[in-house]
Structures are given as C-alpha cells and as structure tokens.
Amino acid sequence: MYPRAAERLWVLWLTVWLGAWVPGRLAALSPTHGSPAASDNPLAVTDYILDPDGYMLMELQLEPHILVDPDYEYDPRLPCDDSSDGYTRLCEPPKVYYKNGCVDACPSDHFMNPFSRACIRCGAKCLSCDNMCSCSQCQPSSYAFGPNCVATCPDSLAPDLERLMCVPCQDRQCLDCSSSHRICKECAPGLALQEGVCVDVCSVGWYLTPTSPTPTCQPCHPSCLDCETSNLATACTACPPPLVLRQPPAPSPPVTASDCVEDCMNDPSQCAICREGCASCRLRVPGGDREDSLCISCQTNWYLLGDQCVQACPSKYAQLPGFCAPCHDTCAECAGGSGFNQCTLCPPGSLQQAGQCRESCEVNGWFQSSPTMCSRCHDTCLQCNGPAATQCLVCNRGRLLVRDAGSQRCVSTCPAGLYADYAISECLPCFGTCASCSGPGKNACFSCIAGTFLHNGECLIHCPGGMYGHAPANGTGTCQPCPTGCAICSGPLASECGQCVAKWFFLPSSPEPGSASSSNSASSSSSAPGSGSAPGSGSVPDSGSTAYIGMTLGTCFSTCPAGTWGNPTTSLCEPCAGLCAACSGRVDFCTECAGPSMWASLGGSCSAECPTGEARPAPTHADYSIRRCRACHASCARCSLAESPSACEACPVGHFALAPGACVPECPSGYYEAAWAADPGLPAADLGQCIACPQGCDKCTGPPESQCIRCKPGLVLHEGTCVASCPATQFVEVNGVCQACPSSCLICRPPDQASGPEPTCSRCQVDFWLAQAEPSASGASSIAGPGTLACLASCPEGWYGGTLPGAGGGVCLACHAKCATCNGPGLDACQVLWCELDQTCPEEPDKPSSARLEIIIPASVVSGLVVLLLLAAVVVLLYSRSSRRSTATKSRRDIDPADSESAQLSYDMTVLNTITHLSLPGFLLVNLDIDFYRDKAPTEEEDDALLGQGSQASVYKARILSQACRQRADSEWAAIKLFNSSLLPSDAEGAFQNEVSIMWALQGSPHVARMIGYSATPRAIVMTYYSENLENLLHRDEIELDSVNTFRVASDVVNGMVFLHGEGIAHCDLKPGNVLLSVCTQTGRLSGVLTDFGVSRAVARETTLTIKTEIVGMSIKFASPEMIRIFTLPKGVSRVEATIFLESDIYALGILLWSMVSKSTPWKNLSTTEIQTMVLSDQRPPVDQAAIRLDLDAPHVRSLLDLAVRCWNGDRSMRPTYTDLVGLEWLTQ
C-alpha cells in the first residue's frame, strides 16, 4: 500500500517543484544556450537546456518520454532501467556525461543512464545507487526506501538493522516492529506475542498473560511441562515423564493443576531422599539409589537451578519465585524473566535501552547518554542528541525543526520570521523583508517588516504604479489601489491623483496644474515619487514616501465634467469656449448652450431656433432639458418635432405623403401613388401622395374597382375585382386568383405538379366525358387513378361512357378485360373482343352473364380442382397482360414505357399471387355476418371494443361462431381488421391484396400473427385474438416486465424478423404496437408475434408479393436515417434500392430492443423535427445504467443491448443481416 502512496506524493512534490522552479529558470536562459544536438525546434525529441554557467539543467523528452533532470532524483513515472530509445548519446563509451563534459566515471552518488550516458544523481540521503528505483547505500542513521534514503521507515515497514533498509516486518501478522523487522511489538487482534513472534496460541511450556496491547506468552516453572496461569511450581498442568501431578489422598475429581512429583509420592516409602534445599525430588535413575536424586522444587529462599536448589541465582540468571530463569542471549544480567527486554546489565560493547541490549541505540526516540546506556529523547523529538527539548535532530510527525543559535527544537507552528518546509520538516528563514511567510521566495510574505508594504505576497519599499502605501499604526503596511483612473496617487481620495491612466483625463485641483502653490500638494505621504511629467501622461513610476512633494494633485475622469473637454493630446480637461455650456471634440463645438433661450444644433453651434432638418425634441426627451436639437425623422425633409415619423412638414425627394405628417418611399398595400399640389420648397417632379384602393383591394393601379391586381386575405381576384369566392362553375381558385377552366370543363381542379400549369377537369360540360390521360390498370373508374383528367368528346377505345356515384357527370369507365370496345360494363356489353382482333378466340367463346369474376374455393376442394384453377389463373393473367399492353399502346402515348411496364408487372404479380394464395386448400373465405358476432351492446364477457385504429383499417374483437374458424383459431375470440371504406377503390384493393398475400406467405412461422381467413365484401382480415400488445405493456407501471420475459419476447421478435427477411419480406413498420403478446396460463411465459403488414413489401421475391416503390408513411421514432432522408424529399422517391427496407427493419429492431430493456419510449417529448435532427446527426438513445431499468450486468440484458447498438448503426452496411441474427447463440436458448 505504502509504495503507491509514496509514489503519488513523490509525483505531487516533483510537479510542484517543476511548476515553481522550471518556468522561472527557462525564462532566464540565454538564447545562446541550447541543445548539444542542433535543432530548429526548441523542444525536439531530445533537447538539453543549459543554465547561464554552461551546466546542463534539464533533459526534455516529448511524449512518450517525460521531463528528466540528470542532476535530480528518480522520477517514478520512468522505468527503473529507463529503457527508452529516444535519448541522444552525449558521450561515446567509455566516457560518461557529467557537468557539461565527458568524464571517465560518474560520482559515487550518481548512476549512468545507459542510453544517453548521462550521470543522474541518486535519491536524497543515498550514497550510491544502481538505477532510478533503488539505493544501494544510505547515509548513516537512514534506511533505504525505494529510490531514497529516509530517517524513519513509513508505517507497516521497519528498519533492517543489518542491511540498513526499510522492509516489511518479518512476521506478516505483526502490526508494529518499528525497532527491528525481526522483533514484533504488537500483533494483529486475536494473536499473542511470544519472544517477539506472533502466535495463535502459546507454545507448550508457556502460559498467556493479559498484557496490552497484545497478550504475552510467559515461560512456565522449569519443573512443569506445561502450565496455565502462572510460573509457580504448583501451577503445572502437565509434567515431564516420569513425573506426575501431585494428587491429594483420594481426590475427587483429580486435580488438574499442581506441582510435578514422582509417582512414588503417593507412597512415601518409595520416594527419593532429597538434597539440601529441595522441597521435592525424584530419583535420577528410576529404581536407583534413593540418595541419588534430582530436585524438582525448592524450599523457601532456595531456588531451583537445573536439578539442584541454590540459595542465590548465578550471573546471567533471573531470580524468580522458586527457580532461576536464564536471561536472554543478549543480556549480561536480567530481572523478571528471560525476555529480550528484561536485561539489567549488558555485555561489553552493547548498550542498554529499555531493558534491551542493542549494538546501537534505536535511531528514533533514543540517544546514547553514556557508553552503556540509551536514554529517551524529549517527546517532541523523533531523533536527538540529548534529553532536552532543544536537543532535537529530527522531529516527530506533525512537528517542525527550528534551528536556533546552539539549539534545535521541534514545534507545531513555526515562529515569526520562519516558514514550514514540510518536505524536510523544518522551519526555515523567510525572505529578508518578510515578518512572516509561507515559503522561501520574496513573494511568499504574509506580513512585512517596518518601512515596507505588502503587495501580492512581496514586501516592497515602494508600491507599484496605481497603488499607494498605507501604513496603519499597528499592523503591516500594505499597498492599496489608487482611486479608479489614477496611475499615481497619494491616498485613497479621488482628488489625490497625481497622474491618470491611459485614456483618462486630469483635472487639477488648482488653476494651474504643476504650480508649487497648489493647496493639495502633498507634504508627506507613504506614496511613490512622481515622474515630473505632465499629469495624465508618461510612464507610471513606483510610489514612495517622498512621492508628491511639490507635485500638483487633482482628479482623473474618464469623461471630463460639464464645461470642460477632454483633450486626447494633453490628457487634460480643458474649459469650453464661447456660448458653450458643454462641448465635445473641441472646445468650440457646443453640445449644450449657455442661456435659457439658446439651442445647440447638431453642428455644434448655438442659436435661438434649430436649423432645417433639425427640430426640438419632445419634452419627455432627455435632450429637451439641455436644449439640444435633434434630427428630423429620416422620412422627413422638414419637421415640427424631432425624430417623429408623423411630424413631417415636407417630404424628401422620391417620397410620398401617406397621411398628414408622414412620408414613405412607396405607398403601402391598399394604396396607389398619385401626384398632389406642389410645395414651394420642393421640386414639383418629386411630389406625390398615397390614395387608398377600393375596399377589399390589397394592391391596385387606380380608383376604379376593376383595377385591383391583388386582394386582401379572405378574398379572391376575379376579373380585376375582389370577391368572396370564384364562380361555382368554369373557374377555380389558383393562388388567390380565379382562373378559367378549360372550355369543355364544367368544374375543374387547381393545377398541380402532375397536371402542369393548367387546371384539370373534375366534371364536364354536357356531351363531354371525364377521362384520364393515364387510365388505371385495375379496370376501375378513372377518377380513382393518379393521372391527369380531361373532358373528351368521346371515350377512347377500351372505355365506355357512364356514371359513378358522387362523380356528378359523365365519366369514361374501363371495358371488361376481354373487350376491345364496349358500350357498357361486363362481358355481355362487348362490341369487339380482343381475341377476335388477335384471332385467338375458341370455337365456342365464353358467354358469361356477369362482368364480375369472383373466386370462392371451399376448404374441402380437391387437389385436381386446385390445379385447374391455377392454370386458369395463369390464362387470366396472360390475357390480362395482353389486353392491358394493347390498351396502353393505344391510349398512353405520353407515358414512359419503362414505368408503364414496371407498373403493369407489379399489378400482374399481385393478381397472380393473390389468386394463387387464396386458392390454396385450407384457406378460409369467411362471412363476417355469419361466422362472427359483434354485439352492439357488449358485456364484460363479450367485449367487442375497438382494439386499434389506423389510416387504412380498424381492428375489432369479435366472438367466433363458425366451428371451422374456431378450430383454426384454437380460441372462441378473433380480431377482425376491417379496411376503411373511405379509401379509394384502387388503394383499398391494393392494400388488402398486399396484406392478405404477405400474411398467408408467412403463416409457416410461429412468430407471425395467425390468420384465420379473409372477407372480400367488406374487405377484412380475420386473425387470432391476442390479449395484449408490447406498447401497452411498456407503458403500464402496474405490470413489471422482468428480465426473463423481456428476453423471451425479444427472442420471439428477432426470430420473427429472421423469418420475414429470410422470405425476402420487409415489415417496414416494426414498433412495439405491432408486437402482439399472449400469456401461458400454466407458466406465465409471454410470447410475442409480429402483426400489421399493411405497408410491408417484398424486396427479394418479386415473383411472390406486391411491389410498391413509393413510401407512404413511417413511424418516426423507429425510422432509420436513410428512410428519413428519403421520406423528407419533396415528392418521396419513385425507386429505391431494395435492400434499404431490410436494413431499415434492422435499425427499427435496435430501437425496439432498447425500448424493451429501458421500458421507455425513444425520443420522448421530442417533436418530429427534433427527432429527425437527432437521428440524422447520429445520436441514439442512452445505454448507461441510469437509462436502463434492468441490471446491465445480467448476461441476457447485455446481449440485447449490445445487439440494439449493432442494429442502429448509422452505416447501414454495418448492421447485422438476418443471417447474422441466425448465428446468435442466445437466440436458440
């Protein structure tokens, strides 16, 4: 722990030192000094900075190297061996670089950089070192620690007295071994100290004593093998064989602690005869001579020594109760026991310190007071040479060393005149003028000596310019700022200025600036000497005690006071001249005039009236009170009130009078220009006035009502007159003007981009028929198509004249597909068949009785009928294509052939595929009125509430009545998507066929909503009913979507998209609202399916599904950047790259996954424009823990979020494809 802390402190200290020392030294360098290796760059890869004496101070290394001082200690940011190849070699081997020269070897306290061969000094107190990170020899009374030598080892480290270095305690469980790394003083909690070592339990023959801070193990009585609570002979708990614990006669129970005796003690006739002084003994040899005995315990005042009792313990033994304990190996004599710290006398050559015998006194806290003794330092000293507080050498932490004459003491706060240097823990003298300070520099003063003034931490004899010296009766003198504008001053008053700063003006207090008779001339002050130059000009001198003797004082102004003018040349306030009460620019340019009847003009003159083009201002204007003329309004040539646009008395050239007192350069809307009576003071050719147009006109050329050329809002222009609306027939409003319809039109529509600049017909005159220049391929009314409409005298071939409900006139309707010409609808109205023209009619042509062809195949149709039906569909398709190609050739001469063929192919594919799919066995054609029930007054059990609503269709819940439908749905409820009847017939049919065919093609996936059937009239799709959708679930706080169900639903959605894209189908509207959910009643598991394929399209299987290239809409919050760009084009696009829809699906999938793990709406509370800006600038929803409701560390959550980020990549080529999604391992889990 500590080396890192020391490294941080070292880096901090080095940073502060470099920040304070290097800039000043660099600034003082002579331009002639520089790198030994010439370079135009002052900081090249390796540069050397030399001081004025020619010694190299710094070796500068740009990144990846750093600043290195060859004559300073190690930098912890460099490797120990400094294995860098960016240095320039300074000397060729075997020479080394030292003190700006090449020498034979580095000094002993330096080491050589192996690359630059420069000698770099070892760390502090280090006598020799090998590299930047290690010291091999330290100065006396210091220990090696990292690159440096320290007087005291840091916490958790202890001195190695043999190697003189700081090392960890030898016992890793020791908390304090500050005197020696081998001897522990305090152990970790729960441990005991035994002979300087931490143990879990005391060894056999030792017992535990409750000492503080660590319990201590003490030796048992010598006669005991083990003991519990004391070292008495009677406290044994185990005895060395063959001795046993003494037992009283018939003990019950036996004693567990007693003295150790031979077993014969229970039978006195068998005991040995004890020697003199023995209280108990045993035979030396079992069964031997009874007089040949060994003492076990001694009588009173006798002491057991080995196997005998003595009356006094010999040298090197401690006399303990009843026995002699051997002293520690280091002791000559001891008392109290055999501990290393119980010595009373030490061997020759050793020193006694607190009961220990040492080779030398401990460095910290002790000193050698005699040839044989170590004594404690004063409690303020860490190291000392005597017991007094004035004999300190190094201070304890938190104290600083003060070196007085003949003494050194440790204090907590430095006395006056000294500052604390915490790097060396000493109080050092302040700079000479400082009374107290924070550092050694002259600018580190807190207070100053008498006769000096404190300024920015520096004690000055003279204050700098712009300041004066303030010396209070008690306290430190300080430099105080002069009044604002003063460069030199004698005090704090504004009238005590002697010179002004640049762009300020001096106003003397006496009539003649600089005269010796000035009443404000300073006689004595603590300010600085003046320059003798004119007040307000020249350089700014320092202030001093004799500054203004004889100098004129005055006041400085940024703007001279009334009646004077600031002369920029002399920087003096000069008095105004003549009738001027105030002047500007020069002394005779009046801005105010003297006298109550004089007015100052803009030209600086004084007169009783304002000149032409000027006038007196309004009484509320500030210039009115000082009688200063103001200019007329810019629209006036002459005026009665200054700056008023309605007080003109004459207009300037090219202007018109709009109303009394107003002049305008041109008449506004609702007015026209007219000449008026001449003004004697102005040229007649430039006179005019503005007259109002007739009512309702916004612009006109004269007074008659028929001369309007633009109307006011709410009116339209009809033949020069403004009316409420255009006539009901033969005219149409175009940009506020009634434009005539074509002559054959009764009613027409305004022109648009498709029709060109002319209106298009919507209802025809009598005997004309409404037709379309580009007839619809569907065979429906031409009114429903997108082309230009016109009124024709007769319908073209392939069309007949008829009517449509709501059309309001004759229209051209398409003949039956088999008819080349006809006079009505249906096959029976054919006049000429196409097969007759092609000579391809069969011998017995069909004679249907109805023009409408419907295909209804029951579920039980046999496979043979299916084959026939498919063949018939192909024939119909080929016939239809032939018919429409012929029609297109005849009636669409102005249509792009490529576009026509593409549109025809798209239509044909839709017809063929829809017929094919709807004819497959098992597909249900349903009757909504018979097979389903929707109660007009629903109950809680039979709820037919509206489930959803969009621009194309609405979705309802209904009960299934048909048994076949129930079997397919596996439920009694269904969801019916009913297409809106308000859609144009061709749009409704196209959307219906597209969605039916797509849903039927996707029924092989369990992740797509199940389709039960369809209804042709009305158009509807019937699906399985799902109780919930994902969007509602994400916005309901009372339901918590846990991580398991989130992952399950997300897997279903991803699998569904994999299936769609694998089939070549793009969903085009993926969002939470289009993900339906069902709940397993047994497990509670949520399942998700995809729905709403109303805008989906086929992008890779063009022979399977309808293709529509226009983009009809999108959900902006899930729209990709490329789709936003396409949709925001003026008219969308007619063709796009097919894969863009698949890639946009993947982007929407990413946003949807984020919505699930965050349970939040993307781009919440942002407008459409703001969302477009965010997406196009490549911004995405946040993915930090604050935005995600689930735990980001959960593997499933992280997998979903990582996939979301990949999916919404702004580069669509970088998004995963469905084949990449198939490869996801978690997708199948």
The residue behind tokens 């304070």 is 20
> Strand ranges (DSSP E) for 413-476?
418-421, 426-429, 434-437, 445-448, 453-455, 458-460, 467-470
Q: What is the pLDDT of residue 1103?
A: 36
Q: Could you say which residues of the chain have pLDDT below 50? A: 1-78, 81-86, 269, 511-547, 682-686, 774-786, 806, 845-922, 936-943, 1101-1111, 1132-1134
- Pairing between β-strand 197-199 and β-strand 192-194 as defined by DSSP bridges: antiparallel
Q: Which helix (H) or strand (E) holds 47?
A: strand 46-50
Q: Which helix (H) or strand (E) holds 729?
A: none
Hey, what CATH topology would domain 924-1025 get? Phosphorylase Kinase; domain 1 (3.30.200)
The alpha carbon of 1028 is separated from its chain's Cα centroid by a whole number of angstroms, namely: 37
587-590-591-594 Cα dihedral, nearest 10 degrees:
110
Own/partner pairs, 226-235, CB within 8 angstroms, 24+ separation: 227/257, 228/257, 229/257, 231/207, 231/320, 231/321, 231/323, 232/321, 232/322, 233/259, 233/260, 233/296, 233/297, 233/304, 233/322, 233/323, 234/258, 234/259, 235/207
Residue 436 φ then ψ, to 5°? -150, 155
The identity of residue 545, as a single letter, is S
Q: Are the C-beta atoms of residues 48 and 38 closer than 8 Å to each other?
A: no
Q: What is the pLDDT of residue 865?
A: 42
Using CA of residue 354, residue 359, residue 360, residue 364, what is the dihedral sign?
Answer: negative
Q: Which helix (H) or strand (E) holds 732?
A: strand 731-734
CATH of domain 731-838: 2.10.220
Q: Which residues pair with 479 in a beta bridge?
A: 469
Torsion region of 805: left, alpha or beta (phi above 0 gives left; psi -120 to 50 gives alpha): beta
The identity of residue 1006, as a single letter, is P
Q: What is the pLDDT of residue 1174?
A: 92
3-state secondary structure of 1207: helix
Q: What is the pLDDT of residue 1075?
A: 94
491-517 b/e (C-beta count within 10 Å ≥ 16 → b): beebbbbbbbbeebbbbbbbeebeeee
Tens digits of per-residue pLDDT, 433-443? 899 998 888 89
- Distance between CA atoms of 709 and 723, rounded to whole angstroms? 12
DSSP 663-697: EESS--TTEEEE--PPPTTS-GGG--EEEEPSTTE
Q: What is the pLDDT of residue 1194?
A: 82
The residue behind tokens 């005849």 is 890
Q: What is the pLDDT of residue 425?
A: 84
- Distance between CA atoms of 549 and 522, rounded to whole angstroms? 5
- Distance between CA atoms of 1086 and 1080, rounded to whole angstroms? 7
Torsion region of 1102: left, alpha or beta (phi above 0 gives left; psi -120 to 50 gives alpha): alpha
Q: Are the C-beta atoms of residues 218 and 209 closer than 8 Å to each other?
A: yes
* Angle between helix 985-1001 and 897-918 (nearest 10): 60
- Distance between CA atoms of 170 and 420, rounded to whole angstroms? 36
Q: What is the pLDDT of residue 1135?
A: 56
- Distance between CA atoms of 1050 and 187, rounded to whole angstroms? 58
Contacts of 4 (CB under 8 A, 6+ apart): none
- Distance between CA atoms of 976 and 90, rounded to whole angstroms? 90
Q: Are the C-beta atoms of residues 296 and 271 closer than 8 Å to each other?
A: no
Written as six digits, the tokens of 530 are: 């003046």
Quick one: CATH architecture of 1027-1229? Orthogonal Bundle (1.10)
CA-based end-to-end distance of the chain: 46
- Distance between CA atoms of 592 and 599, rounded to whole angstroms? 7
- Distance between CA atoms of 437 and 1096, rounded to whole angstroms? 82
Q: Are the C-beta atoms of residues 789 and 782 closer than 8 Å to each other?
A: yes
- Pairing between β-strand 662-664 and β-strand 656-659 as defined by DSSP bridges: antiparallel
Q: What is the pLDDT of residue 843?
A: 64
Q: Are the C-beta atoms of residues 931 and 965 closer than 8 Å to each other?
A: yes
- Distance between CA atoms of 1095 and 1106, rounded to whole angstroms? 11
Q: Which residues pair with 700 in a beta bridge?
A: 708
Q: What is the pLDDT of residue 198?
A: 92
Q: Which residues pair with 401 in a beta bridge?
A: 410, 426
Instruction: Give the closest residue to 810 by CA, choosing from 741, 872, 764, 876.
Output: 764
The identity of residue 316, as a single letter, is K
**Residues in the chain, total:** 1229
Contacts of 502 (CB under 8 A, 6+ apart): none
The identity of residue 1127, as a single letter, is F
Q: Which residues pair with 340 in a beta bridge?
A: none
Q: What angle do CA 1189, 1194, 1198 make, to 5 degrees?
A: 80
Reported as half-sphere exposure (CB side, CA atoms, 13 A), residue 95 has a value of 11
Q: What is the pLDDT of residue 1017?
A: 83
Contacts of 1228 (CB under 8 A, 6+ apart): none
The alpha carbon of 851 is separated from its chain's Cα centroid by a whole number of angstroms, namely: 69
Cis, bond preceding 107 (omega within 30 deg of 0): no
Name the DSSP class of 924: -
Q: What angle do CA 567, 570, 571 make, to 5 degrees?
A: 65
Domain boundaries, the chain: 2-150, 468-573, 580-631, 646-692, 731-838, 924-1025, 1027-1229
Q: Are the C-beta atoms of residues 373 and 361 closer than 8 Å to each other?
A: no
3-state secondary structure of 1118: helix
Q: What is the pLDDT of residue 506?
A: 92
Q: What is the pLDDT of residue 548?
A: 52
The identity of residue 496, as a single letter, is E
